[in-house]
Structure formats: C-alpha cells, structure tokens
Amino acid sequence: MIAELVIFIILGTVAVATGVAVILSKNPVHAVLFLVINFFSVAMFYLVLSAQFVAFLQILVYAGAIMVLFLFVVMLLNLTGAIESVQDKLPAQKWVGLALGIALLLEAGVVTAAGVFRQVPAAPPPSPNFGTSAPVGVKLFFDYLLPFEVTSVLLLIAIVGSIVLARRRTY
Amino acid sequence: MLVQYLPFLVLFIVAVAFAGGAMVLSRLLGPKRPSATKLEPYESGMVPIGGTRGRFPIRFYLVALLFILFDIEIIFLYPWAVIFLEAGAARVFLFFEILVFLGVITVGYVYIWRKGALDWE
C-alpha cells in the first residue's frame, strides 16, 4: 500500500512536470519529447492500475507511433522562429483558463472533503494475470466480438480518409 | 503483481545510471581542448549547409499516418496470438473472426496501393 503510494507520487510528479514542460517549451521539438516522457509515465500509471496490456499499448502506439506523427507535423510546419511572432488573438483566455482551473481544483477539493468517494466499496483484489493480453483477448474475441469487427471498419474509414485528405489533385 | 515488474525497474535504473554516468564521467575526467575543426557536427566529413530544421515533404506525414493505422491493426493481433494456441475447439471460430477483421483492413490496403499512396514519387 505504501509502496503504491510512493510510486503514485513519483509518477504523478513526473507526469505533471512533463505536462507543464510541454506547454512551456518554446521549441516545439522539445515539447514533443517532453510529451513522450509524459506518455511513458501515463503507461506506468496503467501498469500500477493492473491494466498491463493497455500499458504496453500506450508505449507502442502513443510513445511510438503517435509521437512520430507529431514530430513529422512539427517538422512539416517548421515553426521555429514563428512561435515568438504569433499574436494571441484571445488574450483573456489565459486568465479565464487559470480561473476555471482553480475553480475545478476547489470543486474537487470540496467533493473529496465532503466524503463522496468514501462510500465507494473497495474492489476485490484482481487475479494475478488480470489485465494481461490473454484475459483481454478472451474478452475481446468472445464477449465483444461485434465491437471488435466494427473496429476494422473504423480503421478502414480512417485509411480511406487519410488518403483522401493527403492526396494530390492528380490522383 | 507489480513485483513481477521489478526486473524492468532495475533494468531501467541501470540503463539511466549507465547513460548518465558515462556522460558525467566523460565530462569530469576527459580533457577538453576544443578547436573549430573538432566542434564541427561531422569532423573530417562534409561541411553542413544550412540549418537542421528543413521542412519535410508531406509524404512523410502520410506514411506516418498509415503506419499508425496498421500499427493499431497489429495491436489486435497480439491478444489473438496469445489466446489462439490454448483455444482448443474455439480455434476455428477465432481463425475466421480474425480473417474477417484482416479482410476488411486488406480492402483499405488494396485501396491505398491502387491509389498510389505507397509510391514515393
């Protein structure tokens, strides 16, 4: 229990710190690299929550593939030097966002202090292989067969959509 | 459960300590006599022309986008491969199930092939 708390505090610190670094980095490539660390710490969160398969998907898909896409977009747009000259069209949004963020934090604090979460019964401890790829596979390929097959159609739509969006007029 | 991942943690710490230690030690112990030639990105290589942040053609973007989509297709094959051997009589069911899934994706594959998105030129 104590070990989990220590892990949570370390991971939470890393996740929040890299998240802040993403939005504060002037260099977009640095921001993307901070986002990689952020995704890794989120993957560790999944691991602590015994969602092991999801944790490795997070690393494979997000830290692997999606970050490559982000880097390509950054290099495609070549924003170096353009960042400083960008005019903030909505200067009020910074302060409105800050106020809303503080309001959200206060709300969460009040709800926690009111004891809403204490009424949730403790979940039974998961079995040792809970969240590994085998139980996930059994659920996915037997219980959730239709959603799984529909996913292929979703991927097909995404493939066609990416070609249509990125094609040149001569295709 | 988390105890099973202890070797990963040890490996991670060793990797970070090794990489960080090598950098710190070489900085502390190594002699530093820089010269203009030594500080070039490719010593005794080509003299670099222009900045490193050239703009990338949009083709890379399309390739990365398609890579993600087929990456997600592969993701579904991991749990399938894990449960297939122990499935027993349900194997036939599982086989045709994945065949339908891969069949639909293959339609997309044939589409991007025929559209010429796989050709670099």
pLDDT tens digits, B2-33: 778 889 889 999 999 999 999 999 999 988 88
Q: Which residue has the higher pLDDT, B62 or B80?
A: B80
pLDDT value at position A171? 44
CATH 3.65.10.10 fits domain B2-114: no
How far does chain A reach from its first CA to its final CA, in angstroms?
59
Neighbours of A68 (CB within 10 A): 18
Give yes or no for B3 touching A (CB within 8 A): no
Which of A65, A138, A152 has its CB closest to that of B83? A138
> ∠ at Cα B44 (B43, B45), nearest 5°?
90
Task: Determine, for residues A75 and B101 on separate chains, whether the beta-carbon distance falls below 8 Å.
Answer: no
Contacts of residue A4 in chain B, CB cutoff 8 Å?
2
Phi-psi category of A81—alpha, beta or left, where left has phi over 0 and alpha has psi -120 to 50?
left
The count of CB pairs under 8 A between chains A and B is: 129
Residue type, A39: F
Q: Are A79 and A31 in contact (CB under 8 A)?
A: no
Task: Say which residue the tokens 């594959």 belong to.
Answer: B109
User: For residues A27 and A8, what is the distance between their CA atoms, to the nearest angstrom?
Assistant: 29
Q: Which residues of chain A, if any, have pLDDT below 70?
A: 1, 79-87, 119-120, 122, 167-171
**Stretch B94-99: mean pLDDT:** 92
Q: Closest-CA residue in chain A for B102?
A: A152
User: For residues A27 and A81, what is the distance between their CA atoms, to the nearest angstrom?
Assistant: 9
Mutate one of B6, B94, B101, B109 to test the A interface: name it (highest A CB count within 10 A). B101
Contacts of residue A133 in chain B, CB cutoff 8 Å?
78-79, 82
pLDDT value at position A121? 72
pLDDT value at position B118? 81
pLDDT value at position B60? 80
3-state secondary structure (DSSP) of residue B20: helix
pLDDT value at position B1? 61
Q: Are A36 and A63 in contact (CB under 8 A)?
A: yes
pTM of the model: 0.76
Contacts of residue B117 in chain A, CB cutoff 8 Å?
163, 166-167
Q: Are A131 and A43 in contact (CB under 8 A)?
A: no
Task: Say which residue the tokens 């949730």 belong to.
Answer: A120
Contacts of residue B80 in chain A, CB cutoff 8 Å?
137, 141
pLDDT value at position B109? 93
Please state which architecture CATH assigns to domain A1-84: Up-down Bundle (1.20)
Task: Determine, for residues A151 and B82 on separate chains, whether the beta-carbon distance falls below 8 Å.
Answer: no
Q: Are A133 and B79 in contact (CB under 8 A)?
A: yes
Which of A57, A140, A163 has its CB closest to that of B117? A163
Contacts of residue B64 in chain A, CB cutoff 8 Å?
65, 68-69, 72
Q: Closest-CA residue in chain A for B90?
A: A142
**Phi–psi pair at A169, nearest 5 degrees:** -65, -20
For chain A, percent helix, then strand, then coil, each to nearest 5?
75, 0, 25
